Amino acid sequence: MMTVSTYTFHRRARTALNQLPEAEQKQLLERLTTFFEIPVEQWPAVWAKRLPGNPSLYLVRINDSLRVFVEVEDGRPPEVVDLVRQETLEAFAKAAEKNGK
């Protein structure tokens, strides 16, 4: 697990981060640092959505394409558990819809 100031990266997220272009890595780290200065209860809905089925998991928008899954539990710093492209999320949603789920 990698710690970055007030939050951590799961190894899966760290691997994905290292595969991003340098400019996007910088944008992601800056966005998260700014974001995590705000208490979770005050996260703007336009940037973060709590995921159904897991009250501690949020989907956070980094830019038009990149999203991160963040786990927030009391007593622990927020943990970035994975990174994903919006296009990938849309493809999964369409597939689930097509399969009736």
pLDDT tens sequence across 18-48: 999 999 999 999 989 888 888 888 888 888 9
Looking at the structure of the chain, the number of domains it has is 1
CATH number at residue 21: 3.30.2310.20
Q: What is the pLDDT of residue 5?
A: 56
**Parent domain of 85:** 2-98
Give pTM, 2 decimals: 0.82
In the chain, the largest separation of any two C-alpha atoms, in whole Å, equals: 42
Angle at which helix 22-35 crosses helix 11-19, to 10 degrees, equals 140
SS3 string, 13-75, reads: HHHHHHHCCHHHHHHHHHHHHHHCCCCHHHCCCCCEEECCCCCCEEEEECCCCEEEEEECCCC
Q: Which residue has the higher pLDDT, 68 or 74?
A: 68
Q: Mind listing the pLDDT tens digit for each residue in 40-64?
A: 888 888 889 999 988 899 999 999 8
Q: What is the pLDDT of residue 96?
A: 80
